[in-house]
Amino acid sequence: MVKLARWNDGGEVRSGFIHEDRAYGLPGGQTANDLLGAGLDETLATAERVIGAASSAPLSAVVLLAPLVPATLRDFVAFEEHVEGMRISIDGAPPGVMEEWYQAPTFYFSNPHTIRATGDEIPIPAGCSQLDFETEVAAVIGRVPGSSGSNLSAAQAQQHIFGYTVFNDWSARDLQRREMKVSLGPCKGKDFAGTLGPWIVTADEFAHRHDSDGFLALQMSVVVNGSRVGEDLLSNMGWPFAELVAYASQDSRVLPGDVLGSGTCGSGCLAELWGRLGDQAPPPLQTGDSVSMTVEGIGTITNTVGPRREASTLVRARPRQRLPRSYDGAAAARG
């Protein structure tokens, strides 16, 4: 199994491969993003050369970082069960899913600059009292020679999937609820943190796991403070990853280093459970809580919740000045 990773080794950021609990660094200062730009075939050849031949360190002796520096981060809502639960929780809607969800996969752009690693502490953002997690898998895009990454078919898009990693899309539910009422967003309810890791497992490792429709039946689970909160199969997505990548590429482009999240699996977050149960049980995350997500064939990411940043960030709009729609500023200045 080829696992591409980044780590801190005595203050030096290294990229390379994890194999049998050892970290093999890339030569010549190469980075994980360099390998994404080289493509999957070149990366597999590089891994064969490096593993066993390069110097290595015990995995226990290094600190894992996020496995890449994302170029962009798109996050889909591809699990029907999650969409239904969140409509109840966020909007107070009756059970069911809107027809528009079935028509095409939907995503939002999140913040690639606040990506965290497994083991990192995740502070609670200012103004948040309902911190939540979201259990996801993300596809990472690599280079395909001769392809612009634009207007791809699903078959072409599959070739652009370099590998997969676990993704926790941290969410401030109370901030998100307010923002979504403006019919745009989310913004500060989401962009404070996202965890990717512990590494990228290359797509070839899952080639035999796709069913006839392209879905991956990988077990997903999330544990809070040692107690399992939710679990699902990745194959319960409404679309396979190839369709998500193809849709993202329409009249646009997907490029090496882009990350595309699956969206939260069924029972993969607290807010969905709140909507279904009609009560905040389990309760929102608090300082000191531990959240671990495991995806079969990929690995586990674990984070601890840190303290809340105490600050006031809301800034009210000024009252609208009811000026004439045709405003002559010069005349007004003349008095």
CATH number at 261 reads 3.90.850.10
First to last CA, the chain: 77
Number of domains forming the structure of the chain: 2
Check whether residue 139 and residue 222 sit in a common domain.
Answer: yes
Q: Which helix (H) or strand (E) holds 178?
A: helix 173-180
Check whether residue 89 and residue 112 sit in a common domain.
Answer: yes
Check whether residue 238 and residue 136 sit in a common domain.
Answer: yes
Range of the domain at 40: 3-65
DSSP string, 92-154: -PPSS--HHHHHS--EEE--GGGEE-TT-EEEEPTT-S-EE--EEEEEEE---TT--S-S--H
Query: Pick the residue with more confidence: 14 or 330?
Result: 14
Of 49, 65, 81, the residue that ends a domain is 65
Is the pLDDT at 267 greater than 60? The verdict is: yes
Mean pLDDT of 315-328: 78
pLDDT value, residue 330: 60
**Alpha-carbon separation of residue 164 from 28, 152, 170, 219 (angstroms):** 25, 19, 19, 14
Q: Is residue 334 a part of any domain in this protein?
A: no
Check whether residue 116 and residue 210 sit in a common domain.
Answer: yes
Is the pLDDT at 168 greater than 70? The verdict is: yes
pTM: 0.94
| Residue pointed to by tokens 């199994």 | 1
Check whether residue 103 and residue 17 sit in a common domain.
Answer: no
Query: Residue 101 is encoded by which pair of tokens?
Result: 């969800």
Is the pLDDT at 322 greater than 80? The verdict is: no
Check whether residue 145 and residue 112 sit in a common domain.
Answer: yes
Check whether residue 8 and residue 111 sit in a common domain.
Answer: no
Check whether residue 128 and residue 193 sit in a common domain.
Answer: yes
Check whether residue 61 and residue 77 sit in a common domain.
Answer: no
DSSP single-letter state for residue 61: G
- Calculate what percentage of the chain has a pLDDT beyond 70: 96
Check whether residue 77 and residue 19 sit in a common domain.
Answer: no
Distance CA 187, CA 265 (A): 21
Check whether residue 58 and residue 96 sit in a common domain.
Answer: no
pLDDT value, residue 324: 73
Report the candidate in 246, 220, 223 with the shortest Cα–Cα distance to residue 234.
Answer: 220
Query: Residue 250 is encoded by which pair of tokens?
Result: 């329409």
Mean pLDDT of 4-21: 95
Check whether residue 12 and residue 118 sit in a common domain.
Answer: no
